[in-house]
Amino acid sequence: MPNSGIVKYHVKMKFDVDGIVEKADIIGAIFGQTEGLLGPEMNLNELQKVSKVGRIEVNVETKTSKTVGDAIIPMSTDISTAALIAAAVESIDKVGPFQAKFILAGIEDIREIKKKVIVDRAKKIVQEWATKTMSESEEMLKDVYDATKPGKLTAFGKEQLACGSGVFESDWIILVEGRADVINLLRAGFDNAIAIEGARIAEPVVKLCKDKKRVIAFLDGDRAGDLILKELEGAVKIDKVVRAPTGREVEELTPVEIVDLLKDAAQAMQITQKPIEDTDNFASKVKDFFQEINETLEAVAFDNTMNQMFRVPVSELVQKLQDEQGAKYLVLDGIITQRLVDACSKAGVQYIVGHRMAELKKAHELTLRTFNELGVN
């Protein structure tokens, strides 16, 4: 079809000829036997001249003494004209000297197909953008929820098992099935995943699980995932099991879906298990201090003798910890993020209390508590 024509419909025909014919014979019959049926302005050759019909595509298959196949007629007319042409082609009863039968297989709306392609492509563009860029507001949310920068893909052990760079430092790890799963988790911000890469659990993975405090198994939602889970349960201690939705694989999930599936299990991995009784004096102080700090968006630091050292807005806390050393206990009207935990570890803080915890990857042996855990609300 000339460039000026825009295809709206594909008229799809099937044919059956009682003899051996070629593509040219089929095309000749379509043009020749429909000519004049609907008036000169509806002849296919005239419609082609004005870019209403495109190049007709024909596929033929020879079966002993018969020829079968299909034809596609691209059209940029309205649906009524396309239907008339389809009916005219169905009236063809001979191709050359042989009896023939043409049947309409369907009229396909190309615009609807294009719309679907466009929408699917748009979704992919948005997903790619979401994983590669971050707006200023998202950067602020990143600080709050501690969506740290993705780590790098690397390898573990002599088997060179695919893993994220965080596997070597994190207090907890995520076991996944394959390399593509590790890469997808990196896109979602989890750099502490390692692929078992097979039904048999490699010895380095078993040892790694023993060395780590916590282990999550994140597996596909299919029969293979069921079998791998049984193997894992027989080889290592698993604290949490997370599955992709039924019939889907981890490598197919979007970053948002991964975060949503892992958030509860990940938060459970991050809480250290130091008993509250070890610091009853501080827990009591928090209970007395809660009403004073609640809804102030401030943080208060205490030294090892429980004397107040400083009180600052939460937004200035990380910088204050870098400038002033000696704080051992910290209470904040906010969220305990990975950035804050890292800063507290460097500053020597041992105990943090806040309203809730973000998705932490490393607790640095600090004791982390929420007000609810201390019975304060």
CB 15 within 8 A of CB 68: yes
Q: Helix (H, G, I), strand (E, B), or coil: what is residue 60? A: strand
Nearest to residue 335, comparing CAs of 316, 352, 319? 352
Would you state the pLDDT for residue 277? 42
Q: Helix (H, G, I), strand (E, B), or coil: what is residue 45? A: helix
Residue 271: pLDDT band with limits 50, 70, 90: low
**Residue 352, φ and ψ in degrees, nearest 5:** -130, 135
Rounded distance between C-alpha atoms, residue 249 and residue 90, angstroms: 46
Residue 322, CB-side half-sphere exposure with 13 Å CA sphere: 8
Would you state the pLDDT for residue 131? 55
Residue/partner pairs of 124-130 with CB below 8 Å, 24 or more apart: 127/254, 127/255, 130/255, 130/256
Classify the C-alpha dihedral 43-46-48-52 as positive or negative. negative
- The fraction of the chain above a pLDDT of 90, given in percent, is 33
Would you state the pLDDT for residue 60? 93
Residue 144 clears pLDDT 80, i.e. is over it: no
Would you state the pLDDT for residue 57? 93
Rounded distance between C-alpha atoms, residue 147 and residue 135, angstroms: 13
Rounded distance between C-alpha atoms, residue 303 and residue 9, angstroms: 77
* All structural domains of the chain: 9-109 (3.30.70.2690), 150-270 (3.40.1360.10), 276-370 (3.40.140.10)
Residue 240 clears pLDDT 70, i.e. is over it: yes
Q: How far is CA 23 from the centre of its chain?
A: 46
Span 187-206, mean pLDDT?
87
Span 235-247, mean pLDDT?
91
CB 327 within 8 A of CB 302: yes
Q: Quote the DSSP letter at residue 305.
A: T
Rounded distance between C-alpha atoms, residue 196 and residue 22, angstroms: 55
Residue 373: pLDDT band with limits 50, 70, 90: confident
Nearest to residue 215, comparing CAs of 231, 194, 201? 194
Span 144-151, mean pLDDT?
49
Residue type, 33: Q
Q: Could you tell me the pTM of the whole model?
A: 0.40
Residue 142 clears pLDDT 70, i.e. is over it: no
Residue 21 clears pLDDT 60, i.e. is over it: yes
Residue 10 clears pLDDT 90, i.e. is over it: yes
Q: How much is the CA Rg of the chain, to the nearest whole Å?
A: 34
| Lowest mean pLDDT across 48-57, 118-127, 296-305 | 118-127
Would you state the pLDDT for residue 151? 63
Span 136-145, mean pLDDT?
49
Nearest to residue 318, comparing CAs of 304, 305, 303, 337? 337
Would you state the pLDDT for residue 59? 94
Residue 275: pLDDT band with limits 50, 70, 90: very low
**In whole numbers, what is the pLDDT of the chain averaged over residues?**
84
Query: Do the strands 98-109 and 9-17 form a parallel or antiparallel pair, or are they unpaired?
Result: antiparallel
Rounded distance between C-alpha atoms, residue 234 and residue 9, angstroms: 58
Residue 237 clears pLDDT 70, i.e. is over it: yes
